[in-house]
Amino acid sequence: MRRIAAEGVGGRERSVHASVVICRHSDENRSREHDGRGSGVSKTILTVDDSRTMRDMLRLALEDAGFQVVQAEDGVHGLEVLECGMPDVIITDINMPRMDGFGFIEGVRKDSRYRGVPILVLTTESDAVKKDRARQAGATGWIVKPFNPTKLVDAIRRVAA
């Protein structure tokens, strides 16, 4: 997300947020689009988290395990990124600006193309009410931060099988 300064009415400067999504379609991504899900060795994971540190930690852990990683900064950006391709698994935080994880999950599940994509919630929250709300929105599983990379990868492999 980039912050852009723009001149508003009366010469006052206004600050706005803008998301830029660039879809890169490699030959592998094109073949994935035809069958709807990746059937190759490397699965694609979409991570949605507003923390740059968490996104970096997820990228390292998942790439080390052989996954391709696509990332988004919040729920709105996550829905935009989904337009670029079909992930095999989605990992999302709950507490994010612009659109929280609940809204993101509901947005994903509203689109029939993504109804079968597993969604894992990775968050600091451990409240049973929030877990139930995520499940009702369409989440497949719940992992509490801080995460163990081995357990996270195992969970991804289970839900993506």
Torsion of CA 63, 88, 93, 26, to 10 degrees: 60
The domain over range 27-160 is classified in CATH as 2.60.15.10: no
pLDDT at 123 over 70: yes
pLDDT tens profile 53-109: 999 999 999 999 999 999 999 999 999 999 998 999 999 999 999 999 999 999 999
pLDDT tens profile 26-41: 444 433 433 344 444 5
Average pLDDT of the chain? 83
Domain boundaries, the chain: 27-160
Environment class of 73 (CB within 10 Å of its CB; exposed 0-12, middle 13-18, buried 19+): buried
